Amino acid sequence: MKRVLTISMVFLLIGSLVACRKDEDPRDNIDAEEGYLGKYVDTLNVEMIKYIDPTASSNLARLTSITGETLEDNRWIRGFKNDLNIQITYSLTGSGDTFLTQWSGKMATGDLPDVFQVGYADYKELLEADLIWDLTDVFDEYASPLLQSIIAEGGDEVMDSVTVDGKIYGVPQVVSQYDSYKYLWIRRDWMEQVGVYDAPQTADDLIELMRLFVEEDPDQNGQDDTYAFSLSNDLWHNLEGFFAMYGAYPDSWVLDNDGDIVLGAIQDSIKEPLQVLQTMYHDGWINPEFITLDYSKSKADIANGKAGIFMGAHYNASDFLLPSKNNDPEADWAVFPWPSATDSTVVHQLELGVNSILVANKDFPNPEAAVKMLNYYYEMLYGETGDYDTFGNDQVDLIWAMGPFFSYRPTINLVPYQDIQKVLNGEMNVADLQGASLDYYESTIIEQKYDWKIMFGELPDNSVVSGGQTAGYYLEQLANGEIEYFINRFYGEPTESMAIVGQQLGLMSLEYFTKAISGQRNTTTDFDDFVQSWLENGGTVMTEEINEKFGD
């Protein structure tokens, strides 16, 4: 959630705050049963806001048509009321820019809800303006072991990202850092067609395979009409893995040889892979229209059989690869390991798995409610007394997103994958599957959904091509360290100058890379010009700030 709010606008509000409240202990206000999920004696009204994820939006409409539940009155809202005696109301709901504009208006006038989710930029401004509670002690006292373990699944960086001078002013709402891994999906039926039966061992092998996919008519229609891979104009979603083969990270902050944190996009390691891409574009291996193809439009090349390699996320099995299978039953997608272009093992970049931060308004007397609500949310989805079938995936997908939060445990995909494999290997009984594992098993094994099978189940075993795996296999490799990765060295709230120039510098980068790929700029002197320009337009200062914050 990106919002527009100047720091000065927030500081205008400070004068109206009640300064004497600072010394109060919020825990004096609590009249509730003991425990992480202690029910309040009197109904506690909690005003929140709800950003509706566009994906969840259509599911909400379906839920309403099936059960009559709405955003304001559904099983989650009733659960919080029945079990915690917390009545949630929303002072703002919506999606997209409309929501963001309305929310920034509310923030600018100090019209804050009681408990709410913010991004890092807002988090920083709110805590500097002393508008949100210090939750350090409240978290220590109230966070359930389950909540703490789920946060720990995201790595130490998760709590680091909200810690300011040893204190936390919000609770990170985690998602999975592993979901930012970019997979190398390849059509095994095309590999067979062009006579390649093994996984590419080197970057050159992969590039040779791309050549065959362009020049050897892998779809056997007699036309010269295929590309090496599909590419959209946001570049990074598709190309992160490709660059990583060369030890290059255009969309990440990395450690250089001196131990300094630097932007990957301006390192010399970029030049070789960028030149490779430029040559591919020149030779017609890349769709010349890619500049006009956003993420969604770039789907067509995969769905219509114009490309047999897709570099992207595991969940693209559903929105990219399933349409390919539906259009061509022969399509046989599998994930292959990224080969290296250097003498070293490939190290991948992942992003911190935090969706947003839950904070409590200082005018709200019960900040512990924020922590208890998260306890409840995770307990219902993953706890021993919970009810995943009701709260996780009943009748419509993403029912967990109908509640007041948008968060799921970092191992949400890993554990069901492992459980399904145990059942397939005879190490576990179907009857022992619970929660998400049972849910995933049903989609993957019972209903045999193609996208689920190639993510979490088994690949079709009629291929003579070796080395392909499901996406879940790589998830496990990431989790147990067999695939090396680092978390982007910058995370958390923007630095002072990043808040001002960060977006513009990001666009500068994207523009240079786009023009370099399409041959409008070279990868030598023009690259040096781009680097110079990036540094001079605020990049130098931003880099210094980041090293001050994260450096040794």
Positions that interact with Ca ion (CB under 5 A): 217, 219, 221, 223, 225
Instruction: List the one residue out of 533, 498, 512 whose CA is nearest residue 261.
Output: 498
- Cβ neighbors of 36 (< 8 A, separation 6 or more) are 142, 143, 144, 147, 372, 375, 379
Residue type, 315: Y
Q: Which is nearer to Ca ion, 225 or 482 (CB)?
A: 225
CB 190 within 8 A of CB 217: no
Q: How far is the CB of 225 from Ca ion (least distance, A)?
A: 5
Instruction: List the one residue out of 368, 401, 387, 377 whose CA is nearest residue 140.
Output: 368
Q: What is the largest CA-CA distance in the chain?
A: 79
- Cβ neighbors of 162 (< 8 A, separation 6 or more) are 123, 168, 169, 170, 171, 172, 357, 492
Q: How far is the CB of 306 from Ca ion (least distance, A)?
A: 9
Q: How far is the CB of 223 from Ca ion (least distance, A)?
A: 4
Q: How far is the CB of 283 from Ca ion (least distance, A)?
A: 16
Residue type, 139: F
Q: How far is the CB of 193 from Ca ion (least distance, A)?
A: 10
Q: Which is nearer to Ca ion, 225 or 294 (CB)?
A: 225
Q: Which is nearer to Ca ion, 208 or 216 (CB)?
A: 216
Q: Which is nearer to Ca ion, 6 or 221 (CB)?
A: 221
Alpha helices in 383-495 (DSSP H): 388-391, 414-424, 435-441, 450-456, 471-479
User: Count of CB atoms within 10 A of residue 490's CB?
Assistant: 22
Q: How far is the CB of 291 from Ca ion (least distance, A)?
A: 23
Q: How far apart are CA 259 and CA 248, in angstroms?
A: 16
CB 2 within 8 A of CB 120: no
- Cβ neighbors of 347 (< 8 A, separation 6 or more) are 244, 247, 484, 485, 486
The residue written with tokens 């500097």 in the block is 128
Q: How far is the CB of 187 from Ca ion (least distance, A)?
A: 13
Provide the 3-class DSSP secondary structure of residue 90.
strand
Q: Which is nearer to Ca ion, 256 or 283 (CB)?
A: 283
Residue 519 Cα distances to 252, 278, 481, 506, angstroms = 24, 6, 38, 20
Q: How far is the CB of 398 from Ca ion (least distance, A)?
A: 38
Q: Which is nearer to Ca ion, 306 or 515 (CB)?
A: 306
Alpha helices in 249-347 (DSSP H): 271-282, 299-303, 316, 322-327
DSSP E strand boundaries for 316-387: 333-336, 347-350, 354-360
Q: Which is nearer to Ca ion, 8 or 223 (CB)?
A: 223
Q: Which is nearer to Ca ion, 302 or 358 (CB)?
A: 302
Scored b (16 or more CB within 10 A) or e, 518-551 reads beebbbeeebeebbeebbeebbebbbebbbeebe
Helices and strands (DSSP H and E) totals, the chain: 24, 14
Q: How far is the CB of 226 from Ca ion (least distance, A)?
A: 5
Q: How far is the CB of 231 from Ca ion (least distance, A)?
A: 18
Q: Which is nearer to Ca ion, 217 or 319 (CB)?
A: 217
Q: How far is the CB of 297 from Ca ion (least distance, A)?
A: 21
Question: What dihedral angle (degrees, nearest 10) is formed by the CA atoms of 14, 15, 16, 19?
Answer: 80
Residue 54 has, within 13 A of its CA and on its CB side, a CA count of 5
Q: How far apart are CA 309 and CA 227, in angstroms?
A: 9
Q: Which is nearer to Ca ion, 208 or 217 (CB)?
A: 217
Q: How far is the CB of 258 from Ca ion (least distance, A)?
A: 49
Q: Which is nearer to Ca ion, 216 or 387 (CB)?
A: 216
Q: How far is the CB of 214 from Ca ion (least distance, A)?
A: 9
Task: Using DSSP bridges, classify how beta strands 86-94 and 44-51 pair: parallel, antiparallel or unpaired.
Answer: parallel
Q: Which is nearer to Ca ion, 225 or 289 (CB)?
A: 225
Q: Rg of the Cα trace of the chain?
A: 25
Q: Which is nearer to Ca ion, 200 or 218 (CB)?
A: 218
Q: Which is nearer to Ca ion, 285 or 527 (CB)?
A: 285
> What tokens does 146 get?
């389950």
